Structure 1
Amino acid sequence: MEKWDLYNKHRNKIAKQITRGDDMASDEFHLVVHVCIFNLKGEMLIQQRQPFKKGWSNLWDITCGGSAIAGDTSQQAASRELLEELGIHYNFEKMRPQFTINFERGFDDYYLIDYDFNLNELTLQTEEVQAVKWASKEEILKLIELKKFIPYYESIIAFLFEGRHQYGSIRL
């Protein structure tokens, strides 16, 4: 039973928690995190969701992501999700997310990191992940076109690749 802290529209934590799947009031929101890992070639690590995973079954997705559980900071949630899904230990405590996307029910923090390693070193979470691979921006966009990748906006995928080395939306 996964518990979530709830936030108001200004991202201030309110004194309320819910169990995943419970209804939230229209002025209540929760926190989600995504991590995108890039190798030295500039490719992103992507994962394929299990066929029995509820929502987006069998589709490819960015490196990892999930909801923050009660008590998690954004950074703790990013570390936990990366460890749970792929067996990667990474400390996000001194980082801010590169950007946050507001969605209907919450806030989605994105962390973009360069981290090169051998795919054989990963420990995939069998409940969620069936496969992983490195992919270029063009390969991901092609998978989206073929409906084999979660249907992110193409501009978001491009921004993940282009914005990974700096904060903000202006090239300096």
Structure 2
Amino acid sequence: MEILDVYDIHRVPTGRTFVRGTKPENGYYLVAQVIVFNTKGQMLIQQRQANKVGWPNRWDVSAGGSVQAGETSQQAAQRELKEELGLSVDFTGVRPHVCSTFAEGFTDVYIVNRDVSISQLTLQTEEVQAVRWADREDVLQMIEKGEFIPYYAGWIAYLFDTHEQYGSFRRAGY
């Protein structure tokens, strides 16, 4: 059983917790996602196991999960990436690439730009059945066919377009 912190609308922990799989009462929870891109601009994607409660057999971004009680999103990103793919990345002092919201909470998205050999990954068999590299069109087609979690096409495009930068605009001299 996983225990998660409850956050207020401003993303401040309330001091209350709830059990994953239930809805937080009068609040929200936090999710951390890690998306790995290689130097070819491809995204490392994972196929969820058939017995997963949410989106079984569908493809998803590289790794992610709920931030556990007392954990920071950086710690959760590091933990999830290690658990699901066996990939060690230190997120200490790293800000999320982007933060988004969903009905029940917030998502911190961390981008890792690194060439990773799929053969050297250690998949968490309870969660992940396969991984592969995919370009933007592959992911968008998979979403259209119902093979990928149904992210908005614009969201996927944004991730592909901005994976090598922080922020939403360029400032002269920076």
Scaled by the length of structure 1, what TM-score is found? 0.96
Instruction: Give the deviation of 1:22 after TM superposition.
Output: 2.9
Q: Distance in 2 between matches of 1:161 and 1:23?
A: 31
SS at match of 1:80: helix
SS at match of 1:88: coil
Scaled by the length of structure 2, what TM-score is found? 0.95
Q: Do residues 5 (structure 1) and 38 (structure 2) align?
A: no
- Which residue pairs with 2:153 in the alignment? 154
Letter of the 1:77 partner, please give it.
A
User: Is the Cα contact below 8 Å between 2:97 and 2:109 reproduced in 1?
Assistant: yes
SS at match of 1:5: strand
- Which residue pairs with 2:113 in the alignment? 114
- Which residue pairs with 1:43 in the alignment? 42
SS at match of 2:119: helix
Q: Distance in 2 between matches of 1:61 and 1:94?
A: 26
Letter of the 1:23 partner, please give it.
K
Query: Which portions of structure 1, spanning 4 or more consecutive aligned residues, are displaced by more than 3 angstroms?
Result: none
User: Is the Cα contact below 8 Å between 2:23 and 2:104 reproduced in 1?
Assistant: no
Identity %: 50
Instruction: Give the deviation of 1:171 after TM superposition.
Output: 4.5
Q: Distance in 2 between matches of 1:121 and 1:21?
A: 32
Q: Do residues 18 (structure 1) and 23 (structure 2) align?
A: no
Q: Distance in 2 between matches of 1:84 and 1:46?
A: 15
Q: Do residues 94 (structure 1) and 121 (structure 2) align?
A: no
Instruction: Give the deviation of 1:23 after TM superposition.
Output: 3.3
- Count of aligned pairs between the two proteins: 171
Instruction: Give the deviation of 1:55 after TM superposition.
Output: 1.2
Unpaired segments ≥5 residues, structure 2? none
Q: Distance in 1 between matches of 2:170 and 2:145?
A: 31
Q: Distance in 1 between matches of 2:37 and 2:22?
A: 35
Unpaired segments ≥5 residues, structure 1? none
Q: Distance in 2 between matches of 1:4 and 1:30?
A: 7
